[in-house]
Structure 1
Amino acid sequence: MTGEEWADDILGPDYRVRTLVLQPDDEGDVVASLVRYAPASAEPLRPSRAILYIHGWSDYFFQTGLAEYWHARGAAFYALDLRKYGRSLRPGQTPGYVDRLETYDEEIEASLDVITGDLGARARIMVMGHSTGGLVAALWANRHPAELSGLVLNSPWLELQGSSVVRHISAPAIARIARFQPKAPLPNIDPGYYARTLSSASGGEWTYDATWRPTPSFPVRAGWLQAIMFGHARVARGLSIEAPILMCASSRTVISPRWSEDMRHADVVLDVELLARRAVQLGSRVTVVRIRDGLHDLALSPRPVRDRFYAEIDRWSSAYGWD
């Protein structure tokens, strides 16, 4: 269900936000936030194509360059701040917490209702997901065949760090904690290196809200991690997504207990080799592209790198007739 109408967004006059009122849970009222890039135009257009972007863990939408990229190609751009993240986080809520990834179906489908209301029922819609948002998007697309014209995944979290062996070994312990203390925080192992590669305060290019995107990240909780592991197990068994899929990830991973400037040219969050292996299990039409020197969020990589990322999306979307 939807709630408020479009209002001014924190990103400035070219962005609008709409609150999506969702079913309440044990923490009270729940909302999601749908952002639209809507720059002023002398001739307002009604595009026939739209992108719905879903962010990653401990994150929110602030990637304005991504919105501008899609707009320049004639697509309407929307971004979803999932429940209990970013614009959608309310006092007293556990940041980022759900115990089933299927819970997000509600805000995804509410977003699609708004998009088709804006653009018409014939609009072609593609979903783009980053990291955990990529996992959520892939699982949703598998459960909802024929609703999308394509799926673009930016470093999607398709397997637990360390491979399925680690997942199988750790699953029983996580399940025991999740059963009795689902919101119990697990040890936080985020050293802050990824934020160091991004933040303008530490040599990166980007400025963002540190409350909505904190360092270290939001605490990982047992019930949430169990939901993620269930999602990984489902991917490992193989999905049957009908829409064409583009999966992009960095060319390499650098994970170390000590900071290195080399981390500014690699994924320091996920094992990109695992992502590439899992990606081909998502459907029958999967394109895997490795972006040299890419960061975990390829859209936040240095300019030459993100230009290569966008060029690969151009090439793929042209091949499938989406340009």
Structure 2
Amino acid sequence: MTSLESTAWHPDVLGPDFEDRTLDLPDGASATLVRHRASVAPDDSPARVAVLQVHGFADYFFHPHVARAVADAGHAFYAVDLRGHGRSWDTQVAAGGDPNQVPDIAVYAQDLDAAAAAVRAAGHERLVVLGHSTGGLIVPLWAAARPGRADALVLNSPWVGQNASLPARWAGTLAVEALAPLAPRAVVSHLGVDYARALHQGYGGEWDFDPAWKPHDPFPVRAAWFRSVLRAQRRLARGVDLDVPVLVVTSDRTTRTEHLTSDTVLDVAHMWRIAPRLGEDVSLVTVAGGTHDLALSPSPAREEYRQVVLDWIAAAV
């Protein structure tokens, strides 16, 4: 049974405009739902449209400017820190799990189910789910398996393929498929640090986020988790025929070193190729000078991204 304590809202680390609450999940796991208080029930009635943001790998919600822009457009804003990430880190680690990773990312469907149900219970008529990077991989697969849970999807630089040469991708897939059943926690790679450091104020960037929750140091990638990502990407590449409108937004280019003005994490060409396979109502927009998380791009790219998303939501839902 869910305790009253876990369902209560508490002050959030982002300050007085934000609150969070624990979402109890099966098998003792938990995620964390964050809300922008001022946007949830303006004039004491729920906003018609709610936006639920889902972060990427080794990431969490720290984007108050996004919440305020959504609120200014008249919508409610929520975000979820998936199990083992950010605000949900301690519970998973205390239970013996790895931070930021699970053996199979399909389990995140439970997190999204709980978050979507909580948002719907607040009285919002329409739900737009916004997934970034790994969130942009998880969200369309969840929506395809759960018709009716979301009314529209926005995918911000979705992780739909590996940013490596074709031979390297083939070799990596074969290796991880062989290793994961034998040693699921074996470290097969490390998350690079250059992109996160380029964003952070401590290295001259614009953004202040907790490096414990969005690591500046190399972070291990484990075999079972990575295998599940590869399988999810193959599933998405076969097409999912979503019955809701979808917006895919990417940078206009991929480079190796221009971390703030291009996507140095993923290959945008993969996103462009997969977008038409998501459904019949898919819009694809590129943002010149955008970084991997387009919401964290330098001006004017982040304002362009924001306007593209808000204009699309106004038209789609």
Would you say same fold, with TM above 0.5?
yes
What is the TM-score normalised by the length of structure 1?
A: 0.90
What amino acid sits opposite 1:43 in the alignment? Answer: D
What amino acid sits opposite 1:130 in the alignment? Answer: H
Contact 1:193/1:268 (8 A) holds in 2: no
Report deviation, 1:203. 2.0
Report deviation, 1:194. 0.5
Residue 11 (structure 1) aligns with: 14
The DSSP-based 3-state class of the residue aligned with 1:242 is coil
Matched, 1:235 2:236: yes
Where structure 2 has 5 or more consecutive residues not aligned to the other structure, the ranges are none
Distance 2:122 2:146 in 1: 21
CA distance 1:95–1:189, shift in 2 (3 Å): closer
Report deviation, 1:303. 2.6
Q: How does 1:161-200 map to 2 (within 5 A)?
A: 161-162=163-164, 166-188=168-190, 190=192, 192-200=193-201
Report deviation, 1:202. 1.7
Residue 34 (structure 2) aligns with: 35
Residue 55 (structure 2) aligns with: 55
Distance 2:132 2:265 in 1: 12
Distance 1:165 1:132 in 2: 23
Distance 1:319 1:114 in 2: 25
| Equivalences, count | 309
Report deviation, 1:99. 2.1
Distance 2:236 2:52 in 1: 21
Matched, 1:213 2:218: no
Which of 97, 104, 115 lines up with 2:101 in the alignment? 97
Contact 2:160/2:274 (8 A) holds in 1: yes
Residue 304 (structure 2) aligns with: 308
Report deviation, 1:48. 1.4
Residue 145 (structure 1) aligns with: 147
Contact 2:71/2:77 (8 A) holds in 1: yes
Distance 1:106 1:94 in 2: 18
Distance 1:204 1:144 in 2: 38
Report deviation, 1:108. 0.8
Which of 117, 133, 136 lines up with 1:134 in the alignment? 136
Report deviation, 1:217. 4.7
Distance 2:307 2:289 in 1: 15
CA distance 1:205–1:145, shift in 2 (3 Å): same
Residue 65 (structure 2) aligns with: 65
Distance 1:318 1:111 in 2: 22
Distance 2:42 2:132 in 1: 33
What is the TM-score normalised by the length of structure 2?
A: 0.92
Report deviation, 1:167. 3.7
Report deviation, 1:96. 1.5
Residue 120 (structure 2) aligns with: 116
Residue 225 (structure 1) aligns with: 226
Q: How does 1:262-301 map to 2 (within 5 A)?
A: 262-301=258-297
CA distance 1:178–1:14, shift in 2 (3 Å): same
The DSSP-based 3-state class of the residue aligned with 2:189 is coil
What amino acid sits opposite 2:260 in the alignment? Answer: R
The DSSP-based 3-state class of the residue aligned with 2:26 is strand
Contact 2:191/2:221 (8 A) holds in 1: no
Distance 2:24 2:45 in 1: 28
Distance 2:116 2:308 in 1: 26
Distance 2:13 2:191 in 1: 30
Matched, 1:20 2:19: no
Contact 2:23/2:32 (8 A) holds in 1: yes
CA distance 1:115–1:271, shift in 2 (3 Å): same
What amino acid sits opposite 2:66 in the alignment? Answer: L
Report deviation, 1:146. 3.0
State, as a whole percentage, how many aligned pairs show the same letter.
38
The DSSP-based 3-state class of the residue aligned with 1:239 is coil
What amino acid sits opposite 1:35 in the alignment? Answer: V
Where structure 1 has 5 or more consecutive residues not aligned to the other structure, the ranges are none
Report deviation, 1:168. 3.6
Distance 1:97 1:248 in 2: 25
Moved more, 208-217 or 287-296: 208-217
RMSD between superposed Cα atoms in Å: 1.9
Report deviation, 1:318. 3.2
Distance 2:191 2:106 in 1: 26
Distance 2:76 2:287 in 1: 25
Moved more, 158-167 or 73-82: 158-167
